[in-house]
Amino acid sequence: MVALTRNLLEEQRRQGVQNVRLNPNVLERLEKIAPEAKTGRQPTGLDALAQRAAQCVKCNLHKTRTHVVFGEGNPNARLMFVGEAPGEEEDVQGRPFVGRAGQLLTRIIEAMGLSRDEVYIANILKCRPPGNRGPLPEEVACCIPYLTEQIEIIQPRIICALGAYAAQTLLGSREGIKKLRGKFYDYRGIKLMPTFHPSACLRNPGTKKYVWEDMKQVRAEYAKTKPKI
Q: Write the pLDDT tens digit of every residue in 149-180.
A: 999 999 999 999 999 999 999 999 999 999 99
pLDDT, one tens digit per residue, over 99-127 is: 999 999 999 999 999 999 999 999 999 99
CB 176 within 8 A of CB 163: no
Q: What is the pLDDT of residue 141?
A: 96
Residue 120, in any domain of the structure: yes
Residue 173, in any domain of the structure: yes
Q: Helix, strand or coil for residue 95? A: coil
Q: What is the pLDDT of residue 227?
A: 87
| Nearest alpha carbon to residue 191 among 164, 159, 220 | 159
CATH of the domain at 163: 3.40.470.10
Residue 99, in any domain of the structure: yes
Residue 20, in any domain of the structure: no
Residue 34, in any domain of the structure: no
Domain of 92, in residue numbers: 63-224
**Cα→Cα distances 186→101, 193, 222, 228, Å:** 26, 9, 15, 21
Task: Output phi, psi for 94, to 5 deg.
Answer: 75, 20
pLDDT, one tens digit per residue, over 18-65 is: 444 444 444 444 444 444 444 456 667 999 999 999 999 999 999 999
Amino acid at 179: K
How many CA within 13 A on the CB side of residue 196?
20
pLDDT, one tens digit per residue, over 199-220 is: 999 999 999 999 999 999 999 9
**Angstrom distance (rounded) from CA 80 to CA 128:** 20
CB 152 within 8 A of CB 144: no
Query: How many structural domains compose the chain?
Result: 1
Give the DSSP H or E segment for 186.
strand 185-187
CB 114 within 8 A of CB 108: no
How many CA within 13 A on the CB side of residue 122?
28
Indicate whether 13 pLDDT > 90: no
